[in-house]
Chain A
Amino acid sequence: MKRRDGEEIVTGSAQFLDDLKFRNLLSGKVLRSPHAHARIKSIDKSKAEALPGVKAVVTWQDIPDWRGGTPRNVRVLDKKVRYVGDAVALVAAESDRIAEEAMRMIEVEYEVLPAVFDMDAALKSDAPLLYENLTSNILPGGTPIYGPKCLKGIVHGDIEKAFDEADVVCEGTAGFENIPNALPPEPPGAIAIWEPPDKATLYGTSQAPYMDKVSLYHVFNRELDIRCIGHHVGGSFGTKIMCWQVQAYAIILARATGCPVKVMFSKEEHMTSFTLRVGSRIQAKIGLKKDGTITGIQGTWFVDSGYYSFTTQCQVAVGLAEFMLFAQCPHWDLKTNVVATNRNASGATRGFGGQELNSSFMPILSLGMEKAGLDPLEVIKKNFVKPGGGYFWRNGEWYDYRGIDFSKTMDRGAERFGWKNKWKGWLQPASVNGRLRRGVGVGIHGNADIGEDTAEAYVQLGFQGRATIFLCAVEHGTGQKTNYTRLAAEVLGIPPERVTMTPADTLVTPFEFGPVGSRGTYAIGSAVIRAAEDARRQLLEMAATRLGVPPEDLDTENGVVFVRNHPEKKVRWSAMGIDRTILGYGRFEEDFTMCNCFMSFVEIEADTETGKTRLVRVVNATDIGQIIDPPGLENQMNACWGSAGIDGALMEETILDRTTGNILNANLVDYCWRPFSEIPEVENVVLETPFPSTRFHAVGIAEITNAPGPAAVLMAASNAIGRWLFQYPVTPDRLLKALENKGKRE
């Protein structure tokens, strides 16, 4: 199974945004705020405008009240700045150098305001407000995208009963607030071309060009018609599903200059001013039975969204829903708060709320499991969704689960890892070798977003026995574009080389939401399959009249339609004539009745003298129905530690100075990442129990291969050193400090 874009990638001819060439392309740059919270008293841009080569300088005073966010209260350029790095002015010039020089010539006078750098400060009754139109720094819950019943909390059963029924009750507060950055190698950017009076063409780094068109339509007050074109994306990990700010900057500058403008973030801007992972903290009380059943969960989940939210309420809804897959307990009383703080905004990242919630909750549940003397593997098996189960999903609707039972996956993963032998009980190391102590941990994650949102595709058949897929999909690393051509080829009975795909271009293709939530295989795949089936149906109907038999008796193979029982009676696809094409249409409607499941077993070695930890081995286990792309799947599963997965618990964090709001490690030297020489052993166990999904019975998995790891790491490290660790990441400092607290809990 080879990638169709393989040759382009290995020869450097694959085109990413920054590789595209345009005549008269201007460089767009963003002047950013040095203050975390300030009112702009005045901006003098006259000197910058006078600099030769400068084509436009745009401030909040020059543009209409264009806004994004949930709620829609974030102006593209505002008279107030809300984090260190907030956009103050946009510059377009003939070169990067001139644009940078012009930025230095813009004089801005600020009135500095008090700021809040964490949720505690933001939630104080006298806290300075980020948005004057709100009464506190708690952002309104819910999002219109998920409908009027959007999940904002889980209230179900009778929570008091849960604690009566429980053998053990545990309580605590824990968080995942270190903001590990998924950090794709290619920074976000956009190129815009303006076409008066109200049209723009946009080339971006986004993985979802059609959704860009939709979000920008609203940002620009539903006044612009924007055509979005996609190409190779240099990694996303969920982050580039939404690039509205950089895209808006490019459009505004193109409109101001009449020339194409490119705004490409530097790596520093990428790490300080492009959306980050949410901060998560949960205060929870949990009831647990001796047999491992979770009887109820009560508490509040606080989510730090930074200076605004666009997708955070979505992440809250999905995170809660995923939590219900993890804990099928009868009684719930879980509230949520989305909090605004004066740091860069949070946005979409793989794990999408669920990973953060799971990572925050597991350490508290661990206390209960220890009290009840329970093996975490048994608790996971007991509580994860099974046939007969059900849950609320993001839209607040209840879904009866119709997916498969993952118990076998869990057993097979445990066997491969050797869990039975390595698990010695809570706070017990698996082995000790002098100062080196090893511990094991396990985590699980599931997501019913494999069937999220709608997808549409066309499949066109041509007389030469070829097919074209019209789909708004870009290649961002999963290899799905190659896979779609194979799915369509299989339906149409032609070799995959005879199937091509249009570029992702909203002028050409129908709606597609974008590759997120592992929806690529089931949701997008279904649209492609259905479009191919529809085209095939029309083809057979056409041939039926030629061959004088009912279409049900026909089949097609290799560009020839034949009578199934009399293969000698046949017509070629060319019989449709060179003056005709057949166009099939496929649509997928969202379906939340099934989920995927991913487990990570980890072994950590802790050096009790230096405090250093080493990820020794990971065994991942999943069941995905049918393997469509074996090496692609392996790559995705190996990625359990990358893009801020497991390593988000071991070393990765965005270091925010909580007194000034500056990010202190916004570059690849100071941001800790795992070098090639330190890659751990990873083994993957994959089962293939047919899912009731598509005709290929497969589902996707990529998004969540990061999700269970962090909680498993904290568990393993705690077991290794015999002390509870509650904070991410497990730095040498934290480990040594925990070791000092002999007899005490961290």
Chain B
Amino acid sequence: MAATNRIRLIVNNRTYELYRGTGPGQVSPSDTLAFTLRETLGLTGTKISCAQGACGACTVIIDRKAVLSCGILTVECDGKEITTIEGLRDPKTGGLDPLQQAFIDHNAFQCGYCTPGMIMTSRALLDENPHPSEEEIKEALSGNFCRCVSHYHVLKAVKSVAEERG
């Protein structure tokens, strides 16, 4: 595909046209999606911890799949639909996503730094497999580093949403 001088990202149902370049507000070829989301678009809900694809903190959803935004270049996302933690609320009612509510109800976080990543990974899992087993949930979240050990409560929260929908 011929490179244009612009990149189009559809983030949380909003379209952003960004220029390629190294100036402020532009997308340089080495910018990761995590960087663009946080620094260029100001969507700081996506967290960066390892910046190396190893911890899951930066997880977003692209084309219904959980993707590590620190491990993908923004230029590779041209034309893609991206959902971040800021985009999970119901667009009509503004209400929380059931997973977000379940994380609150089950105290499924402590410091909360891993939480956006945990929720996005879980969201992608449930979108693909609405009734996962406990093992499937654990497997899906295997790459999400939670140092506070909120795992047990995360498991309860995700299960509760999976079951509710059954």
Query: Which residue of A has the minimal Cβ distance to B153?
Result: A635
- Asked if A667 lies at the interface with its beta carbon under 8 angstroms from chain B, I say yes
**When the two chains form the complex, which single residue of A7, A14, A476, A635 contacts B150, counting CB atoms closer than 8 Å?**
A635
The distance in angstroms between the C-alpha atoms of A309 and B114, with both chains bound, is: 31
Instruction: Kindly list the 5 A-B residue pairs having the minimum CB-CB distance in the complex, ordered from nearest.
Output: A12-B45, A234-B113, A477-B111, A477-B110, A9-B112
Main secondary structure of the interface of B (DSSP, over half): loop
Given the contacts A187-B49, A668-B50, A12 and B85 also touching, CB distance less than 8 Å: yes
Is there contact, CB below 8 Å, between B147 and A643?
Answer: yes
**When the two chains form the complex, which single residue of A11, A18, A639 contacts B148, counting CB atoms closer than 8 Å?**
A639
- Asked if A186 lies at the interface with its beta carbon under 8 angstroms from chain B, I say yes
- Asked if B47 lies at the interface with its beta carbon under 8 angstroms from chain A, I say yes
Query: Which residue of B has the minimal Cβ distance to A264?
Result: B48
Tell me, rounded to whole Å, the shortest Cβ–Cβ distance linking B2 to chain A: 27
Tell me, rounded to whole Å, the shortest Cβ–Cβ distance linking B118 to chain A: 9
Is there contact, CB below 8 Å, between B110 and A13?
Answer: no
The distance in angstroms between the C-alpha atoms of A6 and B101, with both chains bound, is: 9
Is there contact, CB below 8 Å, between B111 and A667?
Answer: no
Contacts of A8 on B, CB cut-off 8 Å? 112
What does the 1/0 interface line of A1-35 toward B look like (CB < 8 Å)? Answer: 11101111111111110110100000000000000
**When the two chains form the complex, which single residue of A235, A634, A669 contacts B113, counting CB atoms closer than 8 Å?**
A235
Tell me, rounded to whole Å, the shortest Cβ–Cβ distance linking B113 to chain A: 3
- Asked if A510 lies at the interface with its beta carbon under 8 angstroms from chain B, I say no
Contacts of B55 on A, CB cut-off 8 Å? 185, 668
The interface-forming segment of B3-11, B13-21, B134-142 is B134-142
Contacts of B143 on A, CB cut-off 8 Å? 675
Could you give 11 example pairs across A and B, Cβ below 8 Å? A234-B47, A237-B147, A631-B107, A635-B107, A639-B149, A642-B147, A667-B50, A669-B52, A676-B139, A676-B141, A676-B144
Contacts of A99 on B, CB cut-off 8 Å? none
Is there contact, CB below 8 Å, between B111 and A186?
Answer: yes
**When the two chains form the complex, which single residue of A21, A185, A237 contacts B42, counting CB atoms closer than 8 Å?**
A21
The distance in angstroms between the C-alpha atoms of A18 and B114, with both chains bound, is: 14
- Asked if A183 lies at the interface with its beta carbon under 8 angstroms from chain B, I say yes
Is there contact, CB below 8 Å, between B104 and A12?
Answer: no
Contacts of B110 on A, CB cut-off 8 Å? 235, 477-479, 632, 635-636, 639
- Asked if A232 lies at the interface with its beta carbon under 8 angstroms from chain B, I say yes
What does the 1/0 interface line of A646-682 toward B look like (CB < 8 Å)? Answer: 0000000000000000000001110001011101001
What does the 1/0 interface line of B17-51 toward A look like (CB < 8 Å)? Answer: 00000100000000000000010001111111111
Interface of chain A residues 667 through 725 with chain B (CB within 8 A): 667-669, 673, 675-677, 679, 682
Is there contact, CB below 8 Å, between A477 and B49?
Answer: no
Is there contact, CB below 8 Å, between A5 and B89?
Answer: no
Contacts of A2 on B, CB cut-off 8 Å? 104-105, 107
Is there contact, CB below 8 Å, between A185 and B145?
Answer: yes
The distance in angstroms between the C-alpha atoms of A8 and B115, with both chains bound, is: 11
The distance in angstroms between the C-alpha atoms of A233 and B104, with both chains bound, is: 18
Query: Which residue of A has the minimal Cβ distance to B106?
Result: A631
What does the 1/0 interface line of A618-641 toward B look like (CB < 8 Å)? Answer: 000000000000011011101111
Most chain-B Cβ atoms within 10 A of its Cβ — which of A6, A97, A182, A676? A676
What does the 1/0 interface line of A506-537 toward B look like (CB < 8 Å)? Answer: 00000000000000000000000000000000
Interface of chain A residues 364 through 393 with chain B (CB within 8 A): none
State the interface size on chain B (CB cutoff 8 A): 54
Main secondary structure of the interface of A (DSSP, over half): loop
The distance in angstroms between the C-alpha atoms of A477 and B153, with both chains bound, is: 14
**When the two chains form the complex, which single residue of B38, B49, B52 contacts A185, counting CB atoms closer than 8 Å?**
B49
Contacts of A731 on B, CB cut-off 8 Å? none
Interface of chain B residues 115 through 158 with chain A (CB within 8 A): 115-116, 119, 135, 138-139, 141-153
- Chain B positions within 8 Å of A, measured between CB atoms, are 22, 38, 42-52, 54-55, 57, 84-86, 88-89, 96, 100-101, 103-107, 109-116, 119, 135, 138-139, 141-153
- Asked if A184 lies at the interface with its beta carbon under 8 angstroms from chain B, I say yes
Given the contacts A10-B119, A639-B149, A679 and B112 also touching, CB distance less than 8 Å: no
The distance in angstroms between the C-alpha atoms of A38 and B100, with both chains bound, is: 52
Is there contact, CB below 8 Å, between B104 and A13?
Answer: no
Is there contact, CB below 8 Å, between A679 and B45?
Answer: no
- Asked if A468 lies at the interface with its beta carbon under 8 angstroms from chain B, I say no
Tell me, rounded to whole Å, the shortest Cβ–Cβ distance linking B114 to chain A: 6
- Asked if A267 lies at the interface with its beta carbon under 8 angstroms from chain B, I say yes
Given the contacts A11-B85, A11-B89, A21-B42, A184 and B111 also touching, CB distance less than 8 Å: yes
Contacts of B100 on A, CB cut-off 8 Å? 7, 10-11
Query: Which residue of A has the minimal Cβ distance to B140?
Result: A676
- Chain A positions within 8 Å of B, measured between CB atoms, are 1-3, 5-16, 18-19, 21, 97, 182-187, 232-237, 266-267, 475-479, 631-632, 634-636, 638-643, 667-669, 673, 675-677, 679, 682
**When the two chains form the complex, which single residue of B22, B47, B103, B148 contacts A635, counting CB atoms closer than 8 Å?**
B148
Query: Which residue of A has the minimal Cβ distance to B30?
Result: A97
Is there contact, CB below 8 Å, between B147 and A183?
Answer: yes
Contacts of B38 on A, CB cut-off 8 Å? 18-19
Tell me, rounded to whole Å, the shortest Cβ–Cβ distance linking B92 to chain A: 16
Tell me, rounded to whole Å, the shortest Cβ–Cβ distance linking B67 to chain A: 16
The distance in angstroms between the C-alpha atoms of A8 and B146, with both chains bound, is: 18
**When the two chains form the complex, which single residue of B46, B105, B148 contacts A12, counting CB atoms closer than 8 Å?**
B46
The distance in angstroms between the C-alpha atoms of A677 and B141, with both chains bound, is: 8
Is there contact, CB below 8 Å, between A16 and B47?
Answer: yes
The distance in angstroms between the C-alpha atoms of A667 and B53, with both chains bound, is: 11
Given the contacts A267-B50, A667-B50, A9 and B149 also touching, CB distance less than 8 Å: no
Is there contact, CB below 8 Å, between A9 and B147?
Answer: no
Query: Which residue of A has the minimal Cβ distance to B148?
Result: A477
The distance in angstroms between the C-alpha atoms of A302 and B49, with both chains bound, is: 34
Is there contact, CB below 8 Å, between A235 and B51?
Answer: no
**When the two chains form the complex, which single residue of B107, B119, B135, B151 contacts A1, counting CB atoms closer than 8 Å?**
B107
Given the contacts A266-B51, A668-B52, A7 and B104 also touching, CB distance less than 8 Å: yes
The distance in angstroms between the C-alpha atoms of A572 and B108, with both chains bound, is: 39
Most chain-B Cβ atoms within 10 A of its Cβ — which of A2, A9, A237, A479? A9
Tell me, rounded to whole Å, the shortest Cβ–Cβ distance linking B75 to chain A: 16
Tell me, rounded to whole Å, the shortest Cβ–Cβ distance linking B24 to chain A: 8
Is there contact, CB below 8 Å, between A7 and B96?
Answer: yes
Tell me, rounded to whole Å, the shortest Cβ–Cβ distance linking A175 to chain B: 25
The distance in angstroms between the C-alpha atoms of A475 and B148, with both chains bound, is: 13
Contacts of A235 on B, CB cut-off 8 Å? 110-111, 113, 147-148
**9 other contacts beyond A6-B109, A10-B103, with CB at 8 A cut-off?**
A5-B112, A6-B104, A12-B45, A184-B113, A185-B49, A185-B55, A631-B153, A632-B110, A667-B52
Given the contacts A11-B88, A12-B46, A676 and B151 also touching, CB distance less than 8 Å: yes
Is there contact, CB below 8 Å, between B49 and A10?
Answer: no
The distance in angstroms between the C-alpha atoms of A640 and B139, with both chains bound, is: 22
The distance in angstroms between the C-alpha atoms of A11 and B112, with both chains bound, is: 10
The distance in angstroms between the C-alpha atoms of A132 and B45, with both chains bound, is: 48
Query: Which residue of A has the minimal Cβ distance to B35?
Result: A96
Contacts of A477 on B, CB cut-off 8 Å? 110-112, 148
The distance in angstroms between the C-alpha atoms of A165 and B142, with both chains bound, is: 54
Is there contact, CB below 8 Å, between B49 and A677?
Answer: no
Contacts of A478 on B, CB cut-off 8 Å? 110
Tell me, rounded to whole Å, the shortest Cβ–Cβ distance linking B106 to chain A: 8
Is there contact, CB below 8 Å, between A668 and B44?
Answer: no
The distance in angstroms between the C-alpha atoms of A6 and B50, with both chains bound, is: 24
Is there contact, CB below 8 Å, between B109 and A267?
Answer: no
Is there contact, CB below 8 Å, between A185 and B147?
Answer: yes
The distance in angstroms between the C-alpha atoms of A640 and B119, with both chains bound, is: 23
Contacts of B89 on A, CB cut-off 8 Å? 11
Query: Which residue of A has the minimal Cβ distance to B152?
Result: A638
The distance in angstroms between the C-alpha atoms of A232 and B116, with both chains bound, is: 14
The distance in angstroms between the C-alpha atoms of A293 and B147, with both chains bound, is: 38
Contacts of A183 on B, CB cut-off 8 Å? 147
